[in-house]
């Protein structure tokens, strides 16, 4: 049996001794050596070496050609060392290889065309080395290749055309930080399986961006930064899902999403030619184009101003007669039918009705005695009714104590007590509550009313009857739940994504939630998701309250009891959100949603994704990425509760890809929640 001892011999650094301390040539089998994986192979009585993984040990040496004699070797992972020299062509005689991870070394020379002699090659990551030369056209023979990552090398020349239509399985392409020049090949747009990233940044590419890239899947994130690209950015297909960062540092690029409009050329137009001829003859046949534009703008402004005056007078009269105004405010006591003045249609199926709540003029009444204000005029009850009702503690956190209160008409509501707080910021508090109250979406908990007094602040919202996702996944005892089938989990994920997309895109404030986690995703009896607790951090900041220090509550309240469910919120937060001083943004929510989706898929808590004691696997994101990198079977990562649902395998895999896109370390690479929602909607349909 071929032995991997050649690797030990190729190391010329003393620090390698400890790594190979148990590599003994007198052993009958290498299968118990550190970094060696073996398995039984059909037709052979003895286990064979199928994996070599020695990473991050700063080993200095060369990659021996003898590794090519390990004909059953499937994975070679030597990243994060200091291997030098070129890739030996004999390595590609190990025809079972499907994953080569040699990134983070000091390899030089060119990329051997014979790399595609490996018929099963799926993952090739040679990034962060010193490879030179051009990209071989023989790459088109890597028919099974899924990830090609050659970033941070010294590769040069043009990116050849003719390769990309042949790579039917490629999901990620990263050629960034090299020295490629010329134009982007049109046929890169024919990478039908590409679903992760297309990274061509930090090269010397020039010319226009091919419109064909718009044919790539909507989940693909472009990165074309720091090149010499020019012209207008296409607006078709997947281009609509890209942010401005994808196109930065291309001085001659223009158009959306860059804040640089393209200049309209009129040199070849007949009108322009006529104007040129007139000026050449010294004749003036009319006003100059600039003067005509100024006159047109002045006329338009005048008409618009008169129109505004007419509209203002009309709606002022309507307001005075207790009607509905298109400001979205309804006079208290008005008896006319409410009028919906605007719909938010930026996401299909999402509607944003203007709130019929109290006018902000009430904020000028001062800070006297307490007042219960209904934001939704169709939802009314008296303060005495609230005070007399029985109340049950649902939970307690830094955002206040939450009670379930059953009103006299039998309708349950959730009442959150914010505590005492400051009186000086009443107007600011009302403005914020009104903005939250305008959010109306089936996957977002609805705020119905609020109460303000000098010694008490309450928020009254819909009561969602079936607990939260944290308890649904792990139960109140912390044990895994057996009740969540794959269709149920997919329904929860889709509903949460729609609710978040609405908050980001269609809500009046374009809200950032900032604290997405399973305990903030409430479920009804049909397991429809309802996002809760958005906007509360801002209200706590305004009131300056300390909910945990408050004493009793409304009549019949139970004493506070600690919840058995402890949220480890830091594991749901994006890497940049863990740095103090950074302001929340919507990409934080995208990351948090991705972690929740991984939890739904794996059934594992984010802080304890596996029973392994390895310190190299600190969280669920790292664990799942490592699993995909090493091409582990899907059954090793998915929740065992779902293994019986064989028909859902493709759907589960598609959802994994969505979650991995959401949890990219670079926030600019993460998709918008609108895109995430649309991609999830396609799963299972």
Q: Which residue numbers are catalytic? A: 515
User: Which candidate, 356, 379, 360, places its Cα nearest to that of 429?
Assistant: 360
Residue 469, H or E segment: helix 469-474
Q: How far apart are CA 601 and CA 637, in angstroms?
A: 8
User: Which candidate, 614, 603, 606, 613, places its Cα nearest to that of 638?
Assistant: 603
Q: How far apart are CA 669 and CA 221, in angstroms?
A: 6
Q: How far apart are CA 74 and CA 77, in angstroms?
A: 10
638: which residues sit within 8 A by CB, 6+ positions away?
601, 602, 603, 652
Write the CA distances from 631 to 188, 608, 637, integer angstroms: 25, 21, 11
Return the structure tokens found at 344: 């938010």
Q: How far apart are CA 122 and CA 171, in angstroms?
A: 10
With left for phi above 0 and alpha for psi between -120 and 50, is residue 97 left, alpha or beta? beta
User: Which candidate, 73, 23, 77, 65, places its Cα nearest to that of 48?
Assistant: 73
User: Which candidate, 202, 115, 122, places its Cα nearest to that of 170?
Assistant: 122
Q: How far apart are CA 132 and CA 153, in angstroms?
A: 7
CA terminus-to-terminus distance, the chain? 50
User: Which candidate, 115, 106, 103, places its Cα nearest to that of 142?
Assistant: 115
């Amino acid at each position: 049996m071929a032995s991997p001892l050649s690797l030990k011999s190729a190391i010329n650094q003393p620090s390698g001794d400890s790594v190979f301390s148990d590599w003994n040539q007198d052993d009958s089998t290498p299968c118990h050596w550190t970094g060696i994986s073996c398995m039984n192979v059909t037709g052979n009585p003895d286990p064979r070496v199928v994996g070599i993984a020695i990473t991050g040990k700063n080993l200095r040496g060369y990659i021996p050609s003898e590794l090519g004699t390990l004909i059953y070797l499937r994975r070679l992972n030597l990243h994060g060392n200091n291997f030098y020299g070129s890739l030996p062509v004999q390595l590609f005689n190990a025809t079972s290889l499907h994953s080569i991870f040699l990134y983070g070394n000091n390899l030089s020379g060119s990329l051997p065309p014979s790399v595609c002699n490996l018929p099963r090659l799926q993952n090739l990551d040679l990034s962060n080395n010193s490879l030179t030369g051009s990209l071989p056209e023989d790459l088109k023979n890597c028919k099974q290749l899924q990830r090609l990552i050659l970033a941070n090398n010294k590769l040069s020349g043009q990116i050849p055309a003719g390769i990309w239509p042949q790579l039917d399985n490629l999901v990620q392409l990263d050629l960034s930080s090299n020295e490629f020049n010329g134009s982007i090949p049109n046929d890169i747009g024919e990478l039908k399986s590409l679903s992760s990233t297309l990274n061509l940044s930090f090269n010397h590419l020039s010319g226009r961006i091919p419109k064909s890239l718009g044919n790539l899947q909507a989940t693909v994130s472009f990165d074309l930064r720091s090149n010499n690209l020019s012209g207008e950015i296409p607006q078709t297909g997947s281009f609509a899902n890209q942010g401005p960062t994808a196109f930065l540092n291309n001085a001659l690029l223009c158009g959306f999403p860059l804040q640089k409009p393209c200049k309209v050329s009129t040199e070849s137009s007949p009108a322009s030619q006529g104007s040129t001829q007139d000026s050449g003859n010294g004749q003036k046949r009319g006003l100059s184009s600039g003067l005509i534009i100024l006159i047109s703008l002045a006329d338009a402004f005048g008409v618009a101003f008169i129109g505004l005056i007419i509209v203002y007078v009309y709606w002022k009269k309507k307001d005075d007669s207790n009607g509905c105004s298109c400001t979205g405010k309804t006079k208290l006591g008005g008896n006319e039918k409410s009028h919906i003045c605007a719909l938010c249609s930026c996401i299909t199926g999402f509607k944003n009705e203007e709130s019929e709540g109290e006018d902000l003029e009430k904020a000028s009444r001062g800070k006297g005695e307490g007042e219960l204000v209904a934001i939704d005029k169709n939802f009314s009850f008296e303060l005495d009714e609230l005070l007399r009702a029985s109340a049950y503690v649902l939970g307690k956190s830094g955002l206040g104590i939450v009670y379930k209160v059953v009103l006299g008409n039998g309708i349950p509501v959730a009442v959150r007590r914010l505590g005492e707080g400051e009186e000086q910021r009443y107007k600011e508090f009302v403005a914020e509550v009104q903005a939250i109250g305008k959010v109306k979406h089936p996957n977002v908990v609805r705020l119905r009313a609020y109460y303000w007094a000098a010694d008490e602040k309450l928020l009254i919202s819909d009561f969602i009857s079936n607990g939260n996702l944290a308890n649904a996944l792990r139960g109140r005892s912390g044990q895994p739940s057996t009740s969540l089938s794959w269709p149920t989990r997919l329904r929860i994920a889709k509903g949460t994504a729609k609710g978040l997309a609405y908050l980001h895109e269609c809500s009046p404030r374009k809200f950032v939630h900032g604290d997405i986690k399973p305990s903030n995703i409430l479920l009804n009896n049909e397991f429809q998701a309802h996002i809760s607790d958005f906007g509360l951090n801002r209200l706590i900041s305004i009131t300056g309250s300390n909910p945990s220090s408050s004493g009793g509550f409304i009549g019949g309240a139970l004493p506070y009891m600690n919840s058995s469910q402890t949220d480890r919120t830091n594991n749901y937060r994006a890497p940049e959100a863990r740095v103090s001083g950074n302001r929340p943004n919507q990409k934080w929510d995208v990351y948090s949603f991705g972690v929740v989706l991984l939890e739904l898929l794996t059934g594992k808590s984010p802080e304890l994704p596996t029973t392994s004691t390895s310190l190299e696997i600190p969280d669920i994101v790292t664990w799942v990425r490592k699993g995909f990198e090493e091409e582990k079977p899907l059954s090793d990562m998915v929740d065992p509760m779902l293994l019986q649902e064989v028909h859902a395998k493709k759907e589960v895999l598609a959802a994994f890809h969505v979650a991995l896109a959401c949890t990219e370390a670079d926030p600019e690479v993460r998709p918008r929640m609108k895109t995430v929602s649309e991609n999830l909607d396609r799963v299972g349909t």
